[in-house]
Amino acid sequence: MESFWQNEFIQIAAYYSLVILCLVLFLAAFELVTKYKNWEEIKKGNVAVSMATGGKIFGIANIFRHAIEEHASVLAMIGWGVYGFSLLLAGYFIFEFLTPKFNVDEEIEKDNRAVGFISMVISIGLSFIVGAGI
């Protein structure tokens, strides 16, 4: 059984499956903290929501990429991924706090693409910072 888990194809499939599961769970968590419904807005063609959500997906995937590269065990990868996600989520709240002149969620829901773009870049940028720390 040991050689089964040592097989690179099996390891990649395991990482892939776990990261997809975590991605779904983390996006659900983001859905809970935003005032709009991500997938309903994307279905309506809201580009700002699409950019913000895409940035979150990229950010989460990038954090897991670093976690996979740096840690030999699946549990360590998941642990660092969860920790990185919590930092990404904190970044979302900090962004909202640092923009007192407007509400980030409301602007993104109104399809303000400038705010959606900045949100996307913040998620991506923070994921590189978190990944470097992993």
111: left (phi over 0), alpha (psi -120 to 50) or beta: left
pLDDT score recorded for residue 7: 85
Average pLDDT in the chain: 93
What's the mean pLDDT in 72-87? 91
Half-sphere exposure for 95 (CA within 13 Å, toward CB): 23
| Structure token pair of residue 39 | 């997938």
Q: Write down the pTM of the prediction.
A: 0.90
Residue 3 has pLDDT above 80, yes or no: no
pLDDT score recorded for residue 85: 95
pLDDT in tens, 102-118: 999 999 999 999 999 99
Question: Residue 124 sits in which domain range?
Answer: 2-133
pLDDT score recorded for residue 10: 87
Asked whether the beta carbons of 84 and 131 are under 8 A apart, the reply is: yes
What's the mean pLDDT in 62-84? 91
Domain count for the chain: 1
* CB neighbour list of residue 53: distance below 8 Å, 6 or more residues apart: 27, 30, 38, 42
pLDDT score recorded for residue 1: 63
Of 99, 129, 97, residue with least CA distance to 114: 99
Asked whether the beta carbons of 116 and 49 are under 8 A apart, the reply is: yes
pLDDT band at 65 (very low <50, low <70, confident <90, very high): very high
